[in-house]
Amino acid sequence: MVKLSTRSSYWRMITILLLLYRNIVIVRSDDKQSDGLTLRKMRSDNHLRVAGGGGGEGSFFKVALFADLHFGEDAWTDWGPQQDLNSIKVMSTVLDTENPDFVVYLGDVITANNLPIHNASFYWNQAISPTRARNIPWASLFGNHDDAPFEWPIDWFSSSRIPQILCPANSSEGDVCSFKGTTRLELMRNEIENSLSFTEFGPENLWPSVSNYVLTLLSPNTDHKSPLMLMYFLDSGGGSYPEIISNIQSEWFRNKSNELNPNSSIPEIVFWHIPSKAYEKVAKIKKVAGKRRRRRTHCVGSMFKERVAAQEAEMGMMKLLTERPSVKAVFVGHNHGLDWCCPYEKMWLCYARHTGYGGYGSWDRGARILEVSGEPFSLKSWIRMENGTVHSEVVLST
Ligand SMILES: *[C@@H]1O[C@H](CO)[C@@H](O)[C@H](O)[C@H]1NC(C)=O
Ligand SMILES: *[C@@H]1O[C@H](CO)[C@@H](O)[C@H](O)[C@H]1NC(C)=O
Ligand SMILES: *[C@@H]1O[C@H](CO)[C@@H](O)[C@H](O)[C@H]1NC(C)=O
Ligand SMILES: *[C@@H]1O[C@H](CO)[C@@H](O)[C@H](O)[C@H]1NC(C)=O
Ligand SMILES: *[C@@H]1O[C@H](CO)[C@@H](O)[C@H](O)[C@H]1NC(C)=O
């Protein structure tokens, strides 16, 4: 691993150098967006590209996935803030051991129940702070807890208290100031102010599903736009609306992938938070086959610590993915006890590893790492645990 880390640092240095020359890092594929996006649009005019990978033999681009951090949970107790400190320690350990070039925040970054945006963005910023402090760029997407709706605490209705609603001083109408929690759009506005963040508002016609966008990884050794890999980010819902990837999101993906990669010549990977129904199927097959044919199922990682908690419906996304030979893998979080990768059709379905001390379950924390090489393309992955150990190494594409 020492050798790998050294190479990674090398690429990180290159990335930073390139950044300095504004010559670089990640192409965003822009959908025409309007209001509220001015800041972002100005930045995206730079046509940023992620440098790394494909720089010749032995070079690669490394991504760390941070899933289910749940910052800000039970902030009013002693253990709430303590678990956030512990989560920062996990991320710091992973970042310092692996030296990734890029980080993906895979949803449930915060537990936003009952938090106004002021507080929610405070916790969000804590969650991204270890990555930002190391000058590593990142992208994020939403889970079901990031904009979890307001829940009236029962003790607000006890004999000694009445429900408190804090209204802005200048609001006059009751329903304007009644607190409804933090929205995805508010969180997104906060997130994209970070100059190292490559997160985007998705196209408006997909809202309420917000974090839908594509980033293109470019080879650093070419001066023209030579994509090494496409990374699709989708919002799988939950929180303020149902846990689904809707038909219109699938249509957006079809449009986008046809536009950017018409003949499926560029490898593609996909990120969202809540596993699709296909994950349930895969886990069942493994369980049935487990006794007799364990070796033949090729799954890697912990399979049965808990049941797959899938999206509410499958509306066409998986079919589109399986029809594209370029799609190599899907990565989700959501189930804190699962960290497997299993083959599905011609691709892989993978869980991340829960990274945060927030949220349910006390399974040990860690992060899934992706390593992308170019020329020839390969995609490898493993789990780096908080205590430094590595397990579940798997080759997802060669
Ligand atoms: C929200 O922010 C306010 C002002 O900074 C602070 O007083 C309050 O304790 C915060 N609430 C939570 C739950 O973090
Ligand atoms: C209240 O004031 C703030 C800041 O001055 C402003 O941004 C907001 O739009 C105002 N809200 C209403 C309901 O007028
Ligand atoms: C997909 O492309 C078609 C044809 O250009 C267009 O009519 C449709 O609105 C697009 N759908 C989405 C969700 O972008
Ligand atoms: C695939 O598409 C790319 C970009 O549109 C093009 O450069 C390449 O020649 C195509 N390859 C094949 C085999 O059609
Ligand atoms: C580190 O954690 C792993 C998995 O959580 C565990 O199996 C292993 O024994 C631990 N190793 C050390 C050296 O603590």
Tens-digit pLDDT profile for residues 11-38:
454 444 444 332 233 444 433 332 222 2
Single out the residue of 174, 179, 94, 180 nearest to residue 136, CA to CA: 94
Please report the pLDDT score of residue 52 as a whole number.
42
Judge whether 330 and 348 are in contact, CB under 8 Å.
yes
133 CB less than 6 Å from ligand 2?
no
Atom of ligand 2 nearest to the CA of 172: 13
CA 64 – ligand 5 centroid, Å: 19
- Nearest bound ligand to the CA of residue 252: 3
Q: Which of 255, 256, 315, 317 to mutate to test the pocket of ligand 3 (most atoms within 8 A of CB)?
A: 255
Please tell me the least confidently modeled range out of 264-273, 290-299, 333-342: 290-299
**Interatomic CA distance for residues 258 and 10, integer angstroms:** 34
Residues with CB under 6 A from ligand 5: 364, 385, 387, 389
Average pLDDT along the chain: 82
CA 263 – ligand 4 centroid, Å: 6
CA 265 – ligand 3 centroid, Å: 22
166: pLDDT strictly greater than 70: no
Please report the pLDDT score of residue 87 as a whole number.
98
Segment 136-159 shows an average pLDDT of 84
Q: Which of 170, 172, 173 to mutate to test the pocket of ligand 2 (most atoms within 8 A of CB)?
A: 170
CA 390 – ligand 5 centroid, Å: 9
CA 271 – ligand 3 centroid, Å: 21
Q: Which of 119, 156, 166, 179 to mutate to test the pocket of ligand 1 (most atoms within 8 A of CB)?
A: 119
Judge whether 13 and 167 are in contact, CB under 8 Å.
no
> Each residue of 207-261: pLDDT tens digit?
999 999 999 888 766 555 678 899 999 999 999 999 999 999 999 999 999 999 9
**Interatomic CA distance for residues 185 and 31, integer angstroms:** 16
User: How big is the CA angle at 199 (ends 198 and 201), to the nearest 5 degrees?
Assistant: 135
> Where is pLDDT greater, at 277 or 114?
277
225 CB less than 6 Å from ligand 1?
no
Atom of ligand 5 nearest to the CA of 387: 1
Please report the pLDDT score of residue 3 as a whole number.
34
- Nearest bound ligand to the CA of residue 209: 3
> Where is pLDDT greater, at 58 or 45?
58
At which residue do the structure tokens 């949220």 appear?
Answer: 359
Please tell me the least confidently modeled range out of 49-58, 285-294, 310-319: 49-58
The number of residues making up the chain comes to 398
> By alpha-carbon position, which residue is closest to atom 2 of ligand 4?
263
**Interatomic CA distance for residues 335 and 256, integer angstroms:** 28
Atom of ligand 3 nearest to the CA of 248: 13
368: pLDDT strictly greater than 90: yes
Please tell me the least confidently modeled range out of 29-38, 64-73, 93-102, 334-343: 29-38
Under CATH, to which class is 2-146+182-397 assigned?
A: alpha beta
- Under the banding of pLDDT at 50, 70 and 90, the label for residue 2 is very low
Please report the pLDDT score of residue 293 as a whole number.
53
> By alpha-carbon position, which residue is closest to atom 2 of ligand 1?
119
Q: Please classify residue 162 by burial: count the beta carbons closer than 10 Å to its beta carbon, then call 0-12 exposed, 13-18 middle and 19+ buried.
A: exposed
285: pLDDT strictly greater than 80: no
- Nearest bound ligand to the CA of residue 177: 2
> Each residue of 302-356: pLDDT tens digit?
999 999 999 999 999 999 999 999 999 999 999 999 999 999 999 999 999 999 9
> Where is pLDDT greater, at 10 or 254?
254
> By alpha-carbon position, which residue is closest to atom 1 of ligand 3?
255
In terms of DSSP H, where are the helices of 21-77? 38-44
Single out the residue of 138, 126, 121, 130 nearest to residue 196, CA to CA: 138
Atom of ligand 2 nearest to the CA of 177: 13
CA 125 – ligand 1 centroid, Å: 14
Please report the pLDDT score of residue 376 as a whole number.
84
CA 265 – ligand 4 centroid, Å: 7
76 CB less than 6 Å from ligand 1?
yes
141: pLDDT strictly greater than 80: yes
CA 32 – ligand 3 centroid, Å: 13
